[in-house]
Amino acid sequence: MLRPVLLYLSKAVWARRVVTGWGFARRASSRFVAGESLEAAIGAVQTLGARGLNATLDHLGEQVTTAAEARAAAGDYLVILDRICAAGVRSNASLKLSQLGLGVDTELCRDNLRQIVRKGAECGIFIRIDMEDSATVDRTLDIYRSLAAERLTDVGLVLQAYLFRTEDDLRSLLAEGARIRLCKGAYQEPPTIAFAKKADVDRNYDRLTSMMIAASLQTGSEPSSADGRLPARTALATHDPRRIEFARQEAARLGLPPRALEFQMLYGIRADLQHALGAEGYPVRIYVPYGTEWYPYYIRRLAERPANVWFFLSNLIRG
């Protein structure tokens, strides 16, 4: 019952107002958020790079309500790309379309994303479109495909294993040559469109993983680039040891080399697993969020694992 409550709170304006006023909440969020400034985030990426880990930077923010906010967010990402390029760090960038104006005007959002992807291509920086709740999926796929039709190829998508539709979406996108990051999903969805039980999500995740590995072998098992900018074609976002072991065994069974199977994890979660996989030759990419809009992201992290809630409560006690 705790997860639905937390997911509700992640969108509740009154809860955001209350929690962001608590100093201990900001301190607790620093476990999962690499600071409020771009410089802090670049420093975190440099530290990860020194340990052999790649990164993707996310400037936190979503659900803007005006065109001015959307254009400002796009401008922020252009600055981020310049900074990644100048610093020479092992990072690409991730973003949410609702931050670029998806809920305001689809064409505005498309234009903002186009600017960012073109800017990234100038410096060889890959752009990953994060998937949001189910209401945004069709528009997200449409915008991605329209940019692909313009031969803007340095951009990929995230798909969520808990949605019933994802197997069909994945099959189509793999046939189109899309670069996909597979995750389980972090939003509250009705049981009419999403698996409600963890075991069912896990089974679907493994099934989709097999599809991605098989497709990677058919199209060429392209590994992540040496500088960490381009992700491997098979990118799996999970901290679940069982899902990771399944992927490793499936890749070995089909002959996919370790360098072509990329594991992606969240900043501040399972550093031990990140380093162990990297030591075994797998590319590991860390999702590094930063910024002042940390509240919804942080509450969704609490919803994912009970241990994260206890971490929050321990900060409450210390605060």
How far is CA 188 from its chain centroid? 17
DSSP state of 58: E
Q: Distance (Å, rounded) from C-alpha 62 to C-alpha 97? A: 8
Q: Distance (Å, rounded) from C-alpha 139 to C-alpha 135? A: 8
Host H or E run for residue 59: strand 54-59
DSSP state of 207: H
Please state the length of the chain.
319
**Closest among 170, 254, 168 to 212, alpha carbons compared:** 170
Instruction: Quote the tokens at residue 150.
Output: 């313009």
Q: Distance (Å, rounded) from C-alpha 283 to C-alpha 280? A: 9
130 is an active site residue: yes
For 178, residues 6+ apart whose C-beta sits below 8 A from its C-beta are 144, 148, 156, 157
Question: What phi, psi does 240 have (nearest 5°)?
Answer: -80, 110
Q: Which residue has the tokens 């962001």?
A: 20
DSSP state of 38: H
On the CB side of 211, CA atoms within 13 Å amount to 22
**Taking the alpha carbons of 223, 225, 227, 228 in that order, is the dihedral positive or negative?**
negative
Of the listed 110, 128, 181, 243, which one is catalytic?
181
Of the listed 58, 130, 154, 202, which one is catalytic?
130
165 is an active site residue: no
**Residues designated catalytic:** 130, 181
